[in-house]
């Protein structure tokens, strides 16, 4: 049901690439997408612009690469034995991780219109999280905690979706309590609801 194989491995980045991909999100956070310049990244890493362009053909590509690199599978599949605990662990991981990458996600969203591959990257990013939830739910079904029929394929991503959303909107980052409430008052009631 879930497809954990969609989680791509980290790119084979050399030490030099890591410098660029580390400096990029930092500068992005400092100055915003428009304020970020390739010259800045080059200066920051004592590199030449050509060295960066050899690797990524445009600024957007660099930002996307930084985004993908930063979001690669940093969320692990929890196996606590209960659905609620699994969801809480997962939600907390997502929350923590998203809080770091909110500026990059914001920047990346802007570029979606022009960069089709970026759309794919973003989809993959969320597909990862959905896949993890799928695995968690599958395990719960196997344990008999919930009914497989209660799982709506399309709505799996309410948990990561809403948490990320809260990070994107300014001054509303989710707290740990938000995660708990979301699991207890929204996700679990949905999964354990009486059939409609």
Partner DNA sequence: TCATAAGCGAGACGGTACGTCGTGTCTTACG
Partner DNA sequence: CGTAAGACACGACGTACCGTCTCGCTTATGA
Nearer to DNA, 114 or 194 (CB): 114
Nearer to a copy of itself, 4 or 186 (CB): 186
Which listed residue (7, 38, 47, 158) binds a copy of itself by CB under 8 A?
158
Half-sphere exposure of 126 (CA within 13 A, CB side): 18
Count of other CB atoms within 10 angstroms of residue 131: 20
Residues 63-82 binding a copy of itself (CB under 8 A) are: none
Stretch that binds a copy of itself, among 6-14, 25-33, 37-45, 88-96 (CB under 8 A): 25-33
CB of 79 to a copy of itself, least distance (A): 24
Using the CB atoms, write b or e for 90-115: b if 16+ within 10 Å.
bbbbbbebbeebbbbbbbbeebeeeb
- The alpha helices in the chain, defined as continuous H runs, are 15-35, 38-44, 49-55, 59-71, 83-111, 116-143, 158-168, 176-181, 188-191
- Judged by CB under 8 A, the stretch of 37-45, 65-73, 106-114, 136-144 that binds a copy of itself is 106-114
Stretch that binds a copy of itself, among 19-27, 40-48, 65-73, 158-166 (CB under 8 A): 158-166
Instruction: Using CB under 8 A, count the residues that bind a copy of itself.
Output: 47
SS (H, E, C) 68-89: HHHHCCCCCCCCCCCHHHHHHH
Judged by beta carbon distances under 5 to 8 A according to partner kind, the member of a copy of itself, DNA, none in contact with residue 53 is DNA
**How near is the Cβ of 107 to DNA at its closest, in Å?**
12
* Residue 157, φ and ψ in degrees, nearest 5: -90, 20
């Amino acid at each position: 049901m879930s497809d954990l194989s969609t989680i791509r491995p980290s790119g084979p980045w050399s030490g030099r690439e890591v410098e660029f991909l580390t400096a990029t999100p930092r500068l992005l956070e400092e100055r915003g997408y428009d304020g970020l310049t390739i010259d800045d990244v080059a200066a920051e890493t004592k590199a030449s612009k050509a060295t960066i362009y050899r690797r990524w053909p445009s600024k957007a590509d660099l930002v996307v690469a930084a985004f993908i690199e930063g979001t690669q599978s940093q969320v692990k599949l929890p196996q606590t034995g209960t659905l609620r605990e699994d969801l809480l662990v997962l939600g907390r991981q997502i929350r923590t991780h998203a809080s770091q990458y909110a500026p990059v996600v914001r920047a990346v969203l802007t570029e979606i219109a022009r960069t089709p591959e970026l759309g794919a990257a973003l989809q993959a990013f969320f597909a990862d999280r959905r896949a993890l939830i799928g695995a968690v739910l599958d395990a719960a079904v196997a344990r008999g905690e919930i009914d497989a029929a209660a799982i709506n394929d399309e709505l799996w991503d309410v948990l990561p979706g809403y948490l990320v959303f809260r990070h994107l909107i300014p001054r509303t980052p989710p707290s740990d309590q938000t995660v708990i409430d979301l699991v207890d008052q929204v996700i679990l009631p949905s999964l354990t609801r009486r059939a409609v």
